[in-house]
Structure 1
Amino acid sequence: MTASRTIDIDRPDEDLRPEPRSTRPTQPALPRLLGVATANPPHRYSQRELLDLLNITDAKIRGVFLNGGIETRYLTLPPRDREGEFRVETQGELLAKHRTQGVRTGAAAVRQCLAGIGRDLRDVRYLVAVTTTGFLTPGFSALLINELGLDPDTARLDVVGMGCNAGLNGLAAVTNWSATHPDELALLVCSEACSAAYVFDGTMRTAVVNSLFGDGAAALAVQASGDTGAAGSVSSSPTPALLTTSSYMIRHAVGAMRYDWDEDAGKFSFYLDKEVPYEVGAHAEIVIDKLLRGTGLRRKDIAHWTVHSGGKKVIDAVKINLGLTSHDLRHTSSVMRDFGNLSSGSFLFSYQRLLEEGRVRPGDHGVLMTMGPGSQIESALLQF
């Protein structure tokens, strides 16, 4: 049935013209970060405990463990042999650890994330799973859908092998999907079992890696809506909109961070060049200036900085080159202190602490920043 119209017979031409369409612009669907949660395996160790457990006596290596700004980490250490010593794990055993711990902690983070925003597993329509600490087919996206009992028609994507910057690459995929599927719930899950990527050979190369990385997972819920509210969330936490992203590859440092095959050890081994902090610091301004270009914002307008906990020297290099304070990077440093480098999910651990702090105000702008193999720097601009 069509609506009736009353025609003024004294102005028939005017009244018979079509009713004008609204000229009000349509509000684009804004991808909003609804909530975040994290999870870790059960065993937590101090750096001093690890030195004793792993029988590390070399003074230089002990210094790397004790002077890197890390106090504790969650790890899944190797099984012990009959003499009570840690046994050397095969690549197959490490891969099994990656799968078991990755699925377990990833699923736990998802459940906590959804509970925090008052949503159900049945609401999830898209899942992006990020990892670097092992290679599986099918990947974590399929394994998590199966483990959690998500609907079989849940769309999914695996982001594998991109390293510590990969969480923001995954977030870009999630927000792009959300923008074209308004009012549907998407999840980003970063699940890393870094102890499944360790080689214990007594060299300084592996010692740097073994002193730095920890195990953990983080889940972030995203939904786009034309409404500026929380898109169905019942959480009282802020739900910022993602405004834009920026990437930068340091091409001459493509091999500075890599995960390659160690023929002698018979397994994959991660390598970090000592120049990484300086390369990241020297190029941090480029990516942030590109991120803010055209927004009318300057660095001093950013109220909240959430930077990847890549290591003490990396954090210091970013702080110096961007003109930030220790307070600006307090959550980055505290996550590194309490968890170590959690690879792709580190920035979400810091983001969670920012929200829990309760200092975010409506209208505030925030920057997310990660860096990793490539060498690559990723960034995203948020408005709360």
Structure 2
Amino acid sequence: MASLTPIVDSAVDTTSNYPKEAPKRTFGLAGLKPKILGVGTAVPDSSYTQEELLDKFRVADPKVRSVFLNSAIERRYLTLPPEGPEGIRQPESQGQLLAKHRMQGLDMGNRALNECLKEAGAEATDIRYLVCVSSTGFLTPGFTALMIRELGLDPSCARLDVVGMGCNAGLNGLTAVAGWAAAHPGDLAVLVCTEACSAAYVFDGTMRTSVVNSLFGDGSAALAVRAGEAPDGSCADLPELLDFASCMIPEAIDAMRFEWDDEAVKFSFFLDREVPYVIGAHAEGVISRLLAGNGLRCSDITHWIVHSGGKKVVDSVRVNLGLTVHDLRHTTDVLRDFGNLSSGSFLFSYQRLRNEGVVRPGDHAVFMTMGPGSTIETALVRC
């Protein structure tokens, strides 16, 4: 695909472990660095292996079955369409899919947020800024307003809904959360990524939709952030958000897109087969800017949290950044156990890293997500 030919970043020194010189300006958090207080995740009650999904939808096409069974995914949490006569799954209208997006997105988001707040030692009423991220449907009012009502948040809580930015959007939302927290020391800011990906499926038997249907799962994740001391005066030794860097690839703007399908009478997601290679080719440039802007090199990064976008995407990023399979163990494990969870995937991996108990004070970590645009988003964390 000629339009997706990778462009070499002139700032990258390919003879060294990332550039000797690179643009130093990235996001540039001013003042106190926001700290991560807690993380929480949630999924639906029902999960299925890839084989079970093929059987439930009676998929016999060997090419489609191969896509499912060679995806490096073992199980996904989904809310499937209801069964009709003879156990056949019934088609869902766009209205029914939007209702699923609202119901499942709100339920999972509330549960992830409550788990996050419990770890942070905070209450819902402590939240002063709420950012909700989702790309699996459209609501007005959005998830922020619904959560404020259902969870009893202070109605004066500032809020932002990030809609339609895709799998990279978790870090776009975190950029907003971190910036707000840095400007409001002592106040609690929270990110919630809630994606009911089963509310964005089209089942028409084509290879285009089968690739999407083989990959995505439902899930929500939340992260609590505060800059400065807590109201009780404590200042715990917690991970700090240091910086952010982005890279959009304009020539690949159509490589991942959500568009209306006249035949199916619903929205359908499209993934170009070249996406993994385009993302991989541009990964080093954005990481170079992130690290050089903070006086670091790739060898200074102890922990890598990369979006579980799919086996080919993860492998392409790993090869282009010179990482090991061990470096991306949590990324691949989340892909195996949940599939691609869209915007919240990286927080599922971060939670697994936290639970592993190997992080030491002073370690540096990189978060990386990628999605429509085509876009790569990154964050630098000091543990």
Question: 1:63 maps to what in 2?
Answer: 66
SS in structure 1 of the partner of residue 354 of structure 2:
helix
Question: 1:102 maps to what in 2?
Answer: 105
1:338 Cα shift? 0.1
1:226 Cα shift? 6.2
SS in structure 1 of the partner of residue 140 of structure 2:
coil
Q: Is the 8 A contact 2:175 2:244 kept in 1?
A: yes
**Structure 1 regions of 5+ residues with no counterpart?**
1-26
Q: Which of 168, 171, 174 is residue 171 of structure 2 equivalent to?
A: 168
Q: Indicate yes or no: 2:350 matched with 1:369.
A: no
User: How many aligned residue pairs are there?
Assistant: 354
1:144 Cα shift? 1.1
Q: Which of 37, 41, 60 is residue 40 of structure 2 equivalent to?
A: 37
Question: 1:51 maps to what in 2?
Answer: 54
Q: Which of 174, 185, 189 is residue 188 of structure 2 equivalent to?
A: 185
1:119 Cα shift? 1.0
Change (3 A) 1:232 1:54: farther
1:100 Cα shift? 0.1
Distance in 1 between the 2:242 and 2:363 partners? 12
How does 1:69-218 map onto structure 2 within 5 Å?
A: 69-218=72-221
SS in structure 2 of the partner of residue 70 of structure 1:
coil
Distance in 2 between the 1:364 and 1:30 partners? 16
Question: 2:252 maps to what in 1?
Answer: 253
Q: Is the 8 A contact 2:368 2:378 kept in 1?
A: yes
Q: Indicate yes or no: 2:344 matched with 1:345.
A: yes
CA RMSD of aligned residues (A): 1.6
1:85 Cα shift? 1.3
SS in structure 1 of the partner of residue 192 of structure 2:
strand
Q: Which one has a bigger Cα radius of gyration?
A: 1
Q: Is the 8 A contact 1:133 1:192 kept in 2?
A: yes
Letter of the 2:256 counterpart: M
SS in structure 2 of the partner of residue 310 of structure 1:
coil
**Structure 2 regions of 5+ residues with no counterpart?**
1-29
Distance in 2 between the 1:204 and 1:255 partners? 18
Change (3 A) 1:77 1:232: farther
How does 1:238-277 map onto structure 2 within 5 Å?
A: 239-277=238-276
1:55 Cα shift? 0.5
Change (3 A) 1:141 1:232: farther
Compare 82-91 and 52-61 and name the one that shifted more: 82-91
Q: Is the 8 A contact 2:75 2:337 kept in 1?
A: yes
1:84 Cα shift? 2.5
Detail structure 1 runs of 4+ shifted over 6 Å in the superposition: none
Distance in 2 between the 1:29 and 1:309 partners? 31
1:102 Cα shift? 0.2
1:103 Cα shift? 0.2
Change (3 A) 1:225 1:52: same
Distance in 2 between the 1:369 and 1:180 partners? 24
Q: Is the 8 A contact 2:168 2:376 kept in 1?
A: yes
Q: Is the 8 A contact 1:308 1:370 kept in 2?
A: yes
Question: 2:21 maps to what in 1?
Answer: none
Q: Is the 8 A contact 2:301 2:363 kept in 1?
A: yes
Question: 2:26 maps to what in 1?
Answer: none
Deviations 1:61-108 (A, max 9, x none): 101001010000000000122432111000000000000000000000
TM-score where L is the length of structure 2: 0.90
Distance in 2 between the 1:315 and 1:263 partners? 33
Distance in 1 between the 2:234 and 2:176 partners? 21
Distance in 1 between the 2:256 and 2:150 partners? 32
Distance in 2 between the 1:241 and 1:253 partners? 33
Letter of the 2:345 counterpart: S
Distance in 2 between the 1:241 and 1:211 partners? 36
SS in structure 1 of the partner of residue 86 of structure 2:
coil
Q: Is the 8 A contact 2:301 2:366 kept in 1?
A: yes
1:231 Cα shift? 7.7
Distance in 2 between the 1:365 and 1:165 partners? 21
Distance in 1 between the 2:214 and 2:90 partners? 19
- Aligned identity (percent) is 65
1:28 Cα shift? 2.8
Q: Is the 8 A contact 1:29 1:226 kept in 2?
A: no
1:233 Cα shift? 8.0
Q: Is the 8 A contact 1:199 1:265 kept in 2?
A: yes
Q: Is the 8 A contact 1:130 1:167 kept in 2?
A: yes
SS in structure 1 of the partner of residue 366 of structure 2:
strand
Deviations 1:114-167 (A, max 9, x none): 111211111111100000000010011111111111111111000000000000
1:283 Cα shift? 0.3
SS in structure 2 of the partner of residue 245 of structure 1:
strand
Change (3 A) 1:361 1:320: same
Q: Indicate yes or no: 2:281 matched with 1:285.
A: no
Distance in 1 between the 2:33 and 2:298 partners? 23
Question: 2:7 maps to what in 1?
Answer: none
TM-score where L is the length of structure 1: 0.90
Distance in 1 between the 2:148 and 2:321 partners? 40
Q: Is the 8 A contact 1:30 1:226 kept in 2?
A: no
